[in-house]
């Protein structure tokens, strides 16, 4: 239990070196991967999320915590049994073409993953056609787009239009976020959801998926 | 234009504008004089400043590579945009976050319809060893620095005044050469390395570059742009420990009685519990150095995301308390979306709440490519009609007269500069 608590603390404090080290040692010593994930890594990132929502943590704190969570999971995930990997749904997410910003996107990804979503990170500067192609190929439940610059956000409506043309719009919920966009813009372009900040995204996706 | 003639002409304009701002009116103000009068006091009307940037690029059908590497195209296209819309003062703004990085060897991603961007998947400094090996650029010669200096020379020839010079702040540069997460870790786990990096970037990259810009242009204002010193991406404490000491060092090293160097461009008042924490940082980013404090063109630049949420009066009263010029932009996407009525109503509100009795500038920047010219004209015309001092107390009921328009292409043929 000590190593599990240590992992929780390392993730919450954003220490990815410790998080990896503890994860490796714990698995070597026979700690169950599922327990290590749930009570260590996931509990750590959830605690960080709680502190962030309560404004005890600043954005850099939650960023480092999500990085530590991500690193710990690269060690733990290969050891999980198939039945441990049950997901509420699949999300693909990326920053739109011309936009290399990924701070918010990375937080969203970690928070979704630790809330049992399978997330495919398309990266930054994702071509508008790639969003459509990946939606067709991966058949996600939700497609997320981030835009952080006023000069790039218009790509989002192009993607939604292209999804419609490709006959995919009815099969995937589209959510958008990022510093440049607003709820009004989301409504205007026909997105299904808008997240004002990364912390809102889990609730938003849960709502769209009809799960709690 | 010769340096002596340029300096003499600039000094005359500065003096005329300063006198005007204090109530002694000698003739009419031109755009540059209006800007200066608006910084120090009350001009005839609110000065309108623009950064033509990629909107000018798009208006002329230029690619990112053409616009951001060929001085003639960059300056002529920017000039056409600013003059066509009747802007008071335009700033030749290139991709100023990249120039020193490009000169250092950082890989950039070039795109057809936007500015180049740092390739964040390949940060230049991956380890402490990388920093030890890194050679500083030769100021003015490395990378696209010659493009910048040549562009400034062309600007001076066209406008008859020095440009506002632009450099990248060392703090933002540190984030870009290390990657955001890496630099966060440096500040937390290896602060001595973070400080060494800041020292190198400040004294061996930024300072020589600012000196070179000033030597070539005789600019009276050189701005270090500092988008990454913003909330919530950084905490107030991080900015105070890792950014401000180096800003002060650069300012003390590069200021002169005729030159003001300052750091600006950050934001995030809405992201902290107490907006004054961020506003105070903005003031500290303009420490006096060895300049005459009374003549420093202090301005408080606040972006629309912050004033739309917190309200303009908060910023106006802070600016008045600190005796600085308030500069507000108009939300770029509003200008893009329109309709003109919404744009003019917004300009009216911004002027009503922000312009006060002077010490105010209005900024039109980052207009997205493809924005109808009618929308930009509406913003400029509204600022000219509503921004006349003293500001009409009944501005809410003032009628707006739409300007007569000439299509851009037609105007360029008649009065513009050749592009391409």
Per-residue pLDDT, averaged over B151-175, amounts to 95
The minimum CA-CA distance between A108 and chain B, rounded to whole Å, is 15
Q: Are residues A103 and A60 in the same domain?
A: no
Q: Are residues B149 and B270 in the same domain?
A: yes
Q: Among residues B341, B354, B340, which one has the least CA distance to residue B391?
A: B354
Token readout for A54 is 């309560």
Supply the pTM of this predicted model. Answer: 0.91
pLDDT of residue B127: 95
- Structural domains counted in chain A: 2
Q: Are residues B267 and B407 in the same domain?
A: no
pLDDT of residue A12: 97
Q: Are residues A152 and A173 in the same domain?
A: yes
- Structural domains counted in chain B: 3
Establish if B81 belongs to a structural domain: no
pLDDT of residue B258: 76
Domain that holds residue A139: 89-209
Q: Are residues B342 and B228 in the same domain?
A: no
The minimum CA-CA distance between B115 and chain A, rounded to whole Å, is 9
Least CB–CB distance from B368: residue in A151, A179, A185: A151
Q: Give per-residue pLDDT as tens, B272-320.
A: 999 999 999 999 998 876 555 565 657 899 999 999 999 999 999 999 9
Whether chain B has a CB inside 8 Å of the CB on A180: the answer is: yes
pLDDT of residue A67: 92
Task: Find, in chain A, the residue whose alpha carbon is nearest to that of B185.
Answer: A64
Q: The CATH number of the domain where A76 resides is what?
A: 1.10.1240.10
Residue that finishes a domain, picked among B288, B319, B334: B288
The minimum CA-CA distance between A151 and chain B, rounded to whole Å, is 5
Q: Give per-residue pLDDT as tens, B242-261.
A: 999 999 999 999 988 778 89
Which residues 120-149 on chain B approach chain A with CB closer than 8 angstroms?
Answer: 120
Q: Are residues B385 and B331 in the same domain?
A: yes
B333 with A151: Cβ contact below 8 A: no
Token readout for A112 is 């979704």
Per-residue pLDDT, averaged over B89-103, amounts to 96
pLDDT above 90 (res A148): no
Per-residue pLDDT, averaged over B380-404, amounts to 93
pLDDT above 60 (res A5): yes
Token readout for A204 is 């938003």
Per-residue pLDDT, averaged over A104-121, amounts to 88
Residue that finishes a domain, picked among B237, B261, B288: B288
Which residues 15-54 on chain A approach chain B with CB closer than 8 angstroms?
Answer: none
Of the candidate ranges A136-150, B62-76, B139-153, the one whose mean pLDDT is the lowest: A136-150
Establish if B344 belongs to a structural domain: yes
pLDDT of residue B295: 59
Residue that finishes a domain, picked among A84, A117, A135: A84
Establish if B375 belongs to a structural domain: yes
The minimum CA-CA distance between B245 and chain A, rounded to whole Å, is 21
Q: Are residues A50 and A104 in the same domain?
A: no
Contact A155, A128 (CB under 8 A): yes
SS3 at position B300: strand
Q: Are residues A44 and A107 in the same domain?
A: no
Q: Among residues B288, B179, B198, B180, which one has the least CA distance to residue B240?
A: B198
CA distance B386 to B112: 37
pLDDT of residue B292: 57
Residue that finishes a domain, picked among A27, A60, A84: A84
Mean pLDDT score across all residues of chain A: 92
pLDDT of residue B300: 95
Max distance between CA atoms of chain A, in angstroms, equals 54
Q: Are residues B244 and B99 in the same domain?
A: yes
Q: Are residues A97 and A69 in the same domain?
A: no
pLDDT of residue A122: 96
Q: Which residues of B touch A55 (CB under 8 A)?
A: 273
pLDDT of residue B415: 96
CA distance B363 to B379: 10
The residue ranges of DSSP E strands in B229-376, in sequence order, are 260-264, 299-302, 325-329, 360-364
Per-residue pLDDT, averaged over A146-155, amounts to 85
pLDDT band at A40 (very low <50, low <70, confident <90, very high): very high
Domain that holds residue B131: 94-288
Q: Are residues B265 and B349 in the same domain?
A: no
pLDDT of residue B410: 97
A68 CB-near residues (< 8 Å, 6+ apart): A10, A11, A13, A14, A15, A16, A18, A19, A44
A125 with B185: Cβ contact below 8 A: no
| Beta bridge mates, A111 | none
Per-residue pLDDT, averaged over B344-349, amounts to 97
Whether chain A has a CB inside 8 Å of the CB on B244: the answer is: no
Q: The CATH number of the domain where B187 resides is what?
A: 3.20.20.210
Whether chain B has a CB inside 8 Å of the CB on A145: the answer is: no
Task: Find, in chain B, the residue whose alpha carbon is nearest to that of A123.
Answer: B121
Q: Are residues A100 and A176 in the same domain?
A: yes
Residue that finishes a domain, picked among A38, A68, A84: A84
Mean pLDDT score across all residues of chain B: 93
Residue of B58, B176, B183, B333 best to disrupt the A interface, most CBs of A under 10 A: B333
Q: Are residues B273 and B314 in the same domain?
A: no
Q: Which residues of B touch A66 (CB under 8 A)?
A: none
Q: Are residues B236 and B271 in the same domain?
A: yes
CA distance B46 to B348: 12
pLDDT of residue B1: 59
Contact B53, B66 (CB under 8 A): no
pLDDT of residue A24: 97
pLDDT band at A131 (very low <50, low <70, confident <90, very high): very high
Q: Are residues B193 and B328 in the same domain?
A: no
Neighbours of B377 (CB within 10 A): 20
Q: Are residues B282 and B302 in the same domain?
A: no
Q: Which residues of B touch A60 (CB under 8 A)?
A: 184, 233-235, 238
pLDDT band at A184 (very low <50, low <70, confident <90, very high): confident
pLDDT of residue A37: 94
Whether chain B has a CB inside 8 Å of the CB on A153: the answer is: yes
Q: Which residues of B touch A14 (CB under 8 A)?
A: 188
A64 with B234: Cβ contact below 8 A: no
Task: Find, in chain B, the residue whose alpha carbon is nearest to that of A62.
Answer: B233
């Amino acid at each position: 239990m000590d190593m599990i608590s240590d992992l929780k603390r390392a993730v919450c404090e954003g220490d990815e070196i410790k998080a990896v080290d503890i994860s490796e040692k714990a698995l070597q010593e026979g700690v169950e991967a599922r327990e290590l994930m749930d009570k260590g890594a996931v509990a750590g990132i959830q605690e960080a999320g709680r502190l962030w929502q309560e404004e005890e943590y600043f954005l850099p704190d939650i960023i480092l915590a999500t990085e530590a969570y991500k690193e710990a999971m690269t060690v733990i995930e290969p050891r999980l049994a198939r039945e441990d990997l049950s997901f509420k749904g699949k999300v693909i997410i990326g920053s739109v073409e011309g936009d290399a910003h990924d701070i918010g996107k990375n937080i969203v990804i970690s928070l979704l993953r630790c809330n049992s979503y399978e997330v495919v990170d398309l990266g930054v500067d994702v071509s508008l056609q790639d969003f459509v192609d990946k939606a067709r190929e991966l058949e996600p439940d939700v497609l997320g787009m981030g835009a952080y610059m006023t000069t790039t956000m218009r790509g989002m409506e192009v993607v939604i239009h292209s999804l419609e043309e490709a006959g995919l719009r009815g099969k995937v919920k589209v959510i958008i976020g990022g510093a440049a966009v607003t709820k009004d813009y989301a409504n205007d372009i026909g997105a299904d959801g808008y997240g004002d900040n990364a912390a809102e995204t889990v609730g938003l996706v849960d709502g769209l998926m009809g799960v709690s | 234009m010769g340096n002596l003639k340029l300096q003499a002409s600039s000094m005359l304009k500065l003096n005329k504008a300063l006198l005007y701002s204090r109530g002694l009116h000698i003739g009419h103000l031109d755009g540059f004089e209006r800007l200066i009068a608006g910084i120090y006091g009350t001009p005839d009307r609110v000065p309108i400043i623009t950064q033509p940037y990629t909107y000018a690029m798009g208006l002329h059908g230029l690619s990112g590579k053409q616009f951001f590497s060929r001085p003639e195209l960059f300056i002529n296209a920017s000039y056409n945009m600013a003059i066509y819309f009747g802007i008071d003062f335009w700033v030749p703004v290139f991709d100023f976050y990249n120039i020193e990085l490009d000169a250092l060897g950082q890989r950039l991603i070039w795109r057809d319809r936007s500015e180049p961007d740092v390739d964040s998947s390949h940060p230049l400094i991956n380890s402490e060893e990388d920093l030890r090996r890194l050679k500083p650029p030769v100021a003015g010669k490395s990378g696209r620095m010659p493009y910048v200096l040549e562009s400034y020379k062309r600007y001076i020839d066209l406008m008859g005044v020095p440009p506002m010079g632009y450099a990248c702040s060392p703090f933002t540069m540190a984030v870009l050469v290390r990657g955001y997460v890496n630099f966060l870790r440096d500040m937390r786990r290896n602060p001595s390395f973070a400080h060494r990096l800041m020292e190198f970037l400040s004294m061996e990259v930024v300072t020589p570059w600012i000196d070179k810009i000033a030597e070539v242009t005789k600019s009276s204002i050189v701005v270090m742009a500092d988008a990454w010193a913003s909330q919530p991406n950084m905490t107030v404490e991080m900015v105070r420990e890792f950014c401000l000491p180096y800003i002060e060092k650069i300012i003390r090293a590069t200021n002169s009685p005729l030159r003001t160097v300052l750091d600006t461009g950050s934001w995030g008042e809405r992201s902290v519990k107490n907006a004054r924490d961020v506003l105070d940082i903005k003031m500290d980013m303009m420490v006096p150095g060895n300049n005459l404090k009374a003549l420093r063109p202090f301005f408080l630049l606040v972006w629309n995301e912050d004033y739309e949420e917190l309200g303009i009066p908060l910023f106006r009263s802070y600016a008045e308390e600190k005796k600085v010029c308030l500069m507000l932009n108009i939300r770029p996407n509003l200008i893009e979306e329109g309709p003109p009525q919404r744009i003019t109503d917004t300009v009216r509100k911004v002027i009503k709440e922000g312009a006060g009795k002077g010490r105010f500038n209005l900024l039109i920047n980052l207009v997205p490519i493809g924005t109808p010219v009618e929308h930009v004209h509406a913003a400029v015309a509204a600022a000219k009609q509503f921004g006349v001092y003293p500001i009409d107390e009944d501005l809410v009921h003032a009628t707006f007269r739409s300007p007569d328009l000439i299509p851009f292409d037609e105007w360029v043929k008649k009065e513009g500069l050749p592009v391409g």
